[in-house]
Structure 1
Amino acid sequence: MIEDMDRRTLLSGVAVIGAATLVGCSGGSKGGDGRVATSSSTPPPATDVPSPTATPTAGTPTIAGTVATGLNVPWGIAFLAGGDALVSQRDAGTIVRVATDGSVTELGEVPGSAGRAGGEGGLLGLAVDPDDQSVLFAYVTTATDDRVVRMSLDGDTLGRPRDILTGIPVGARHHGGRLVFGPDGTLFVSTGDAGDGSLALDRDSLAGKILRIDRDGAAADGNPFGNRTWSYGHRNIEGLAFDADGRLWATEFGDKSADELNLIERGGNYGWPGVEGKGGGKGLVDPLVTWGTDEASPAGLAITRSTAYIGALQGECLFAVPLDGERAGAPTAHFAGDHGRIRSIAVAPDGALWVTTSNTDGRGDPGTDDDRILRVTI
Structure 2
Amino acid sequence: MTKVRLSIVAALSALALAGCSSSGPPDASGSTPPPLPSSAPAGTPPGSAAHLGTPRDLATGLAVPWAIAFLPGGDALVTERDTARLLRVTPAGKVSTVGKVPGVSPAGEGGLLGVAVSPTFTRDHLVFLYYSAASENRIVRFEYRGPGISGVRTLVTGIPRGPIHNGGRLAFGPDHLLYASTGETGRGGLSQDRSSLGGKILRMTPDGKPAPGNPFGTLVWTYGHRNVQGLAWDRQGRMFATEFGQDRFDEINRITAGHNYGWPVVEGFGGDRKRYTPPLLTWTTDEASPSGLAYAGGSLWAGALGGRRLWQVPVAANGTVGKPVAHFTARYGRLRAVAAAPDGSLWVSTSNRDGRGDPKQGDDRILVIPVS
TM over 0.5: yes
Cα shift at 1:319: 0.1
Question: Aligned to 1:199, what secondary structure does the other structure show?
Answer: helix
Provide closer, same or farther for how the CA distance between residues 159 and 38 of structure 1 changes in structure 2, counting only shifts above 3 A: closer
Pairs aligned (count):
354
- Report the equivalent of 1:232: 223
Provide closer, same or farther for how the CA distance between residues 258 and 187 of structure 1 changes in structure 2, counting only shifts above 3 A: same
Cα shift at 1:158: 2.5
Q: Does residue 1:327 correspond to 2:316, yes or no?
A: no
Distance 2:16 2:106 in 1: 16
Cα shift at 1:57: 2.0
- What whole-Å deviation, never above 9, does each CA across 1:317-336 have from its counterpart, x for those lacking one? 00000001320111110000
- What whole-Å deviation, never above 9, does each CA across 1:17-61 have from its counterpart, x for those lacking one? 9xxxx899x9998x69655449999xx996134587225324322
Aligned residues of 2:23 and 2:330 also touching (Cα < 8 A): no
Aligned residues of 1:23 and 1:333 also touching (Cα < 8 A): no
Give the alignment's Cα RMSD to 1 decimal: 2.6
Distance 1:70 1:33 in 2: 27
- Report the equivalent of 1:288: 280
Provide closer, same or farther for how the CA distance between residues 153 and 142 of structure 1 changes in structure 2, counting only shifts above 3 A: same
- Report the equivalent of 1:120: 109
1:348-359 to structure 2, matched below 5 A, reads 348-359=341-352
Aligned residues of 1:28 and 1:315 also touching (Cα < 8 A): no
Question: Aligned to 1:62, what secondary structure does the other structure show?
Answer: coil
Distance 2:31 2:334 in 1: 21
- Report the equivalent of 2:38: none
Q: Does residue 1:375 correspond to 2:368, yes or no?
A: yes
Question: Aligned to 1:222, what secondary structure does the other structure show?
Answer: coil
Cα shift at 1:76: 1.1
Provide closer, same or farther for how the CA distance between residues 46 and 354 of structure 1 changes in structure 2, counting only shifts above 3 A: closer
- Report the equivalent of 2:307: 315
- Report the equivalent of 2:31: 47
Distance 1:27 1:111 in 2: 41
Q: Does residue 1:108 correspond to 2:99, yes or no?
A: yes
Question: Aligned to 2:54, what secondary structure does the other structure show?
Answer: strand
- Report the equivalent of 1:276: 267
Distance 2:226 2:367 in 1: 29
Moved over 3 A (4+): 26-29, 31-41, 49-52
Task: Using the TM superposition, name which of 158-167 and 286-295 deviates more.
Answer: 158-167
1:1-378 to structure 2, matched below 5 A, reads 16=6, 34=18, 36-37=20-21, 47-49=31-33, 53-116=44-107, 119-133=108-122, 134-281=125-272, 282-324=274-316, 325-378=318-371
Q: TM-score of the superposition, structure 2-length normalised?
A: 0.89
Provide closer, same or farther for how the CA distance between residues 243 and 33 of structure 1 changes in structure 2, counting only shifts above 3 A: farther
Aligned amino acid, residue 126 of structure 1: V
Distance 1:183 1:40 in 2: 35
Stretches of structure 2 that go unaligned for 5 or more consecutive residues are: 36-42
Question: Aligned to 1:57, what secondary structure does the other structure show?
Answer: coil
Provide closer, same or farther for how the CA distance between residues 39 and 156 of structure 1 changes in structure 2, counting only shifts above 3 A: closer
Give percent identity, aligned residues only.
48
Aligned residues of 1:88 and 1:123 also touching (Cα < 8 A): yes
